[in-house]
Structure 1
Amino acid sequence: MLIADDMHTLTPRSSITILGAGLLGRLLATSLARQGHRVTVHEAGGPDGEGSAGRVAAAMVAPLAESIVAEPNLVRMGQYALTRWPQLIAPLPAPVFWQQNGTLIVWHRQDAPEAARLRATFEHTRGAVAGLPAMQPLDAAGVAAAEPALAGRFSQGLLLPGEGQIDNRQLYAALLQDMQAHGVALHWHSAHTPEDFQPGQAGQPDWVLDCRGLGARGQWQGLRGIRGEVVRVHAPEVTLARPTRLVHPRYALYVAPKQDHHFVIGATEIETDDLSPMSVRSALELLSALYTVHSGFAEARITELSTQCRPTLADNQPAIRLLAPRVLQLNGLYRHGFMLAPAVHDAALELLAQGSSPLARQFDMHLQGLTP
């Protein structure tokens, strides 16, 4: 078992190899390159990030809404992300859509009991996590005022103020440009494992950071895939100001509006690492539920049906561990990638810079072989 004494720290102009160019890999590559380090990235896929769960996600940063499946420490990481994402986006060389208009939750009358259960969960979370804004119960007029497009469609709703979302496709592209601008050596279709390197030895990197997600299953026992399925549509007849979630007894549909009337719709969460195309049943359920949110979606054009598996550890929590001297692994963002990535990214930078992380301690982040 490794202990904290095995943890070295970065020196000026350290050589760092990052495995995986998904969300965490790109964020760390740009941050470390901006600090003046020599960064090399190896990615099994291509520059678009087609193998990354973060590319398929709706990219919502909704700590209270996600508390139905997230522990309080993850909710606190989500609060932190609401502040950090604008800071992380600001220096990028291309614009990235960021919106912080809150989350709207609506339901049909027959689903009022499930909505009451969700509201009780949110109230419990607000009691356990300081600083969460009070949710706002809405009647029919309130729903119409918050989302004019939904006027007359729902008699009740909840507004969760301050929650956000990001355009993940724009983010991936902007991070790619930033890596290129800062001289990161990029190797696409180049699958590697930590065992391929001997960090600290002559001719080898000083550090290896393993950010491969499910690609690390051979090194991380218990890592599994949770399949998610999303539909992307272009609906010029529909305008929504914020992500909207539809309460349903079997699934909680989300509709995340992006720029220019593009929408990301999802709900499914299946315990499997199957990456086959979306089933007819899933597509029909998602699209049928979408139509009940707004009939204008009937004329939307389907631009993409996507599936991906989220890397998930046994306890559904993120973790950072010292696999070997100078080899750091980061994994387990599960369905909360854009909520958790800023905190995990910042904790990793603290560990690399000083050998410990006050931020990880603040968020009860799982560290293995490391000192918080």
Structure 2
Amino acid sequence: MKPQPSSIVILGAGLMGRLLAVELARQGHAVEVFDSGGPAAEHAAAPIAAAMLAPLAESAVTEPGVVRMGQYSLTRWPQMLASLTQPVFFQQEGTLIVWHRQDAAEAQRLQRLLQATQNTIPDLPAMQVLDGAGVAAAEPTLADRFVQGLYLPGEGQLDNRQLLATLVHEMGRLGVHCHWHTPRDPAEFAPGTPGQADWLIDCRGLGARNQWRALRGVRGEVVRVHAPEVTLRRPTRVVHPRYPIYIAPKEDHLFVIGATEIESEDLSPASVRSTLELLSAAYAVHTGFAEARIIEIATQCRPTLPDNLPAVRRPRPRVLEVNGLYRHGFMIAPAMLDVVLELMASGQSPLASRFDLALPIGEDTPAAP
């Protein structure tokens, strides 16, 4: 069921804001978008990401509801990308997890966590335990470098920056009115009253802190390199004593190397130590990274709620606030999109119940001292 054609204001043009704008415009609604940044989404978390779609891998740090959202989104992403008029790199070749001998104990702990998730959600593709030959079969260039690994079939990734640019193109094609470099506050709108839009959707991430005071930022660091000598075919995660490190291959030998979770709101440039750790981990996986060219070193904070879980809040009639996607933004965005569409259509969301997704009603309460 689709809502009747109406006028909709969206605050924030990061990943969720753009997905909502495109889908709602496609349904025939008049959509306006306000964002503090420009089309490059320079104030959003979305450009500084690897866009891995890895529900089982992420289950080590999140709840079953988020895993189910990721599993659902893996089926939705191909459908959504097929509807766009420009191509976006998408791959579903699974995730490889490897470790060095000194990190075997941490790898065993991770394997137990993933197995517990498989027991809870048995329709996830079964994790495969690999010996050295299995690792070499999955990624031939890693032969003789790792003697054990885990392979998580069915997991995927996409090119986040291609997607963000393509969504801007679609917004223009569909007649979405974009107000770039124009921050707005929800208090400026009274949806449903004369002269106002019918709906207001707030997708501003950390920009919504005045309304959602429990939000905090979790820092992510990413190095983008061009490595013609590296032929990794799928996202590879390296078990690390301090924090997980990933290597995500994009098109044309572009690789995104990052640390998924650093408890800090610091937005300063990456430190020498962090950069050395990321690049050393990549080099330890594949020596071809020694001759890679560094394209970019970037940092950003992901919007996160105290429980590290996403939520859609309904503070007043015809207002929805979407936030707290944490490090799982691309993995769960289609699920969040469909929940919002259900709420707009009927005021209820069966999907939210399926995903254990919080739908709090009412204004925020002051954060604890």
1:332 maps to 324
User: Superposed, which structure 2 residues align to 1:1-372 within 5 Å?
Assistant: 12-267=4-259, 269-369=261-361
Task: Name the amino acid aligned to 2:195.
Answer: G
Shift in Å at residue 240 of structure 1?
0.9
Task: Name the amino acid aligned to 1:314.
Answer: P
* Runs of at least 5 residues in structure 1 that lack an aligned partner in the other structure: 1-8
- Asked if 2 retains the 8 angstrom alpha-carbon contact of 1:106 and 1:245, the reply is yes
TM-score by length of 2: 0.96
State the distance in 2 between where 1:110 and 1:61 align. 28
Superposed CA deviations along residues 46-88 of structure 1, whole A, max 9, x for unmatched, are 0011111111110001011111101111111110011011011
Superposed CA deviations along residues 226-262 of structure 1, whole A, max 9, x for unmatched, are 0111100000000111000111222221000000000
State the distance in 1 between where 2:269 and 2:12 align. 23
Aligned length: 362
Shift in Å at residue 325 of structure 1?
1.8
State the distance in 1 between where 2:23 and 2:87 align. 17
2:367 maps to none
Q: Indicate the percent of aligned positions where both proteins have the same amino acid.
A: 67
Shift in Å at residue 199 of structure 1?
1.1
TM-score by length of 1: 0.95
- Asked if 2 retains the 8 angstrom alpha-carbon contact of 1:268 and 1:282, the reply is no
Cα distance change on mapping 1:117 and 1:183 into 2, 3 Å: same
CA RMSD of aligned residues (A): 1.3
Shift in Å at residue 269 of structure 1?
2.3
- Asked if 1 retains the 8 angstrom alpha-carbon contact of 2:141 and 2:232, the reply is yes
* Runs of at least 5 residues in structure 2 that lack an aligned partner in the other structure: 363-369
SS of the residue corresponding to residue 17 of structure 2 reads: helix
Shift in Å at residue 11 of structure 1?
5.3
Shift in Å at residue 270 of structure 1?
2.3
